[in-house]
Chains A and B, each alone.
Chain A
Amino acid sequence: MLKVNDLVLGYDNVPVVFGVSLEVREKEVVAIVGSNGAGKTTILRGLSGLIRPMEGSIEFMGEDITRTPAHKLVKMGISHVPEGRQLFGKLTVRQNLMMGAYTLKDEAAKKDALDQVFTLFPRLKEREDQAAETFSGGEQQMLAIARGMMSKPKLLMIDEMSLGLAPVLVDRVMDSLKEIRATGITVLIVEQKVKEALELADRGYVLATGRILQEGSSAELLESDVVKKAYLGM
């Protein structure tokens, strides 16, 4: 569904991601793991059109989207839940969600999406008139994921969803991801928490300083020397 070839990304013409190739197939959960500054967030920004690739190509559902601007990609079915939540703090929960559904034209589709995220995160429904900025970190993360799902994406990309969350909350958010996957959405996650991410995903890519070190099924990666040594402290 998503094919990335030799992608070079950077800021102000200084590359930080050097020729990354990866693939996400329909109904898969794929993880990109790596430590701080590896370039994970940069890759997602490139995939969602927030930054223009310097080289390489991106293909989504058979269409070349290398130069497609972010807002059009949402319409095509790509949704990116950014690192650090990036909610509309002064808007209410409901307004945040309705902005998430900005590309949906049909009222029935909007209502359907809303029902879906409220079932997934009942807490949001209880507090739909509250300003997003008054939420706790965990609640904000749920809202960020929910907002990302409101566009009814085919591919959901989530950046560091466990960031700043207590372990119980990490579990809960990871669980919600399992439910999301059950609805048939393809998921690409980016995580520093290598073990948790790989346990959840079908396949993974290990990224270090802007290059892919290793790729494979999650089981393979969890057993590999590179991952064991560098990320799992074994």
Chain B
Amino acid sequence: MIGQIIINGLLNGAVYALVAVGLSLTWGVMDIVNFAHGEFLLWGLYSSFWIWALMGLDPLISLPIVVVLIFALGVLTYLVVIKRVLKVSGLTALLATFGLSMVLKNLTQFFWTANYRNVTKPLVSNQSFNIFGMYIRQDYVVAAAGALLLTLLVTLFLNRTKTGVAIKATSINKSAAQLVGIDTNRIYAITFGLSGACVGAAAALMASFTPIYPEACSLYSTLAFVIVALGGFGNIKGALFAGLIVGVVEALGGYFIGTSFKYLVVFLIYLIVMQIRPRGLFGW
């Protein structure tokens, strides 16, 4: 039984991690706390839903399209909102992304009403399979595997490609990056896009088993903040492990304490870790 709970926690945690990786990128590279991150996820979910509803494409099939769409949303956000406030003090940027989150959420209500929407008859069903006496849902496994794969891809991109290393260099020392010829403005736009791409992918992976409505992502967004803080800002590996830990803690809390209090355990652990290691479990 415990084994099954832990596995389920890990499967959820992998998706949480991918959402958190996106948040961690803009936070770590640009020192921008993007409060609209949850709304990026929301718009990813609605994109998946509408592509399915209008064109009949399963969310897993349309994943690349949604990734591109939310990448574009990220770049647009940078160009229209973030770029202007980057030069001013930190609080302004915070207020700007908070405002953006409000705007995006209200637009969601306006365009698509508060109704719940569901993708029905998805490609991978919610059937469970039995392994070592544990019942594991197929769709969760696919989502988690996809999330892990994409997290790995992001890491490879950051470490192996010229643009990826330039993102790291810019985050370490912006003016030194300019002095070697890096257009840091372009790098910031790409970073915001990449952050969006992560959430877009996460949205596509979970669209077939998540009820889609304007408030669907507030929990994911809160958890992403906790995970990024736990994992250390701008630390992809940290976000991955913290995501898995949060998933497991949530699952165990739900089992032992009850569904309504499971997040109490998550936030309690968060508060304790922040006292002992303010830069996160994996921060330096």
Contacts and interface: CB of A to CB of B under 8 A. Distances in A.
Given A98-B162, A102-B162, A48 B179 contact: yes
B101 interface: no
Interface in B163-205: 165-166, 168-169, 172-173, 175-184
Interface in A38-91: 48-50, 69-71, 74-75, 79-80, 82, 86-91
A151 interface: yes
The interface centre, meaning the residue of B175, B176, B182 with most chain A CB atoms within 10 A of its CB, is: B176
A147 interface: yes
Contacts of A151: 180-181
Contacts of A148: 179
The interface centre, meaning the residue of B178, B180, B183 with most chain A CB atoms within 10 A of its CB, is: B180
Interface in A132-171: 147-148, 150-151
A99 to B, nearest CB: 5
Contacts, number: 67
Nearest to B284: A90
Give the contact-size bracket for chain B: 10 to 19
B168 A82 contact: no
B181 A102 contact: yes
A102 B176 contact: no
A77 to B, nearest CB: 11
A95 interface: yes
B176 A82 contact: yes
Nearest to B175: A50
A90 B182 CA distance: 18
Contact of A87 (B168, B176, B183): B176
A90 B168 CA distance: 9
Contact of B165 (A48, A71, A91): A91
Contact of A50 (B162, B165, B179, B180): B179
Interface of A: 48-50, 69-71, 74-75, 79-80, 82, 86-91, 95, 98-100, 102-103, 147-148, 150-151
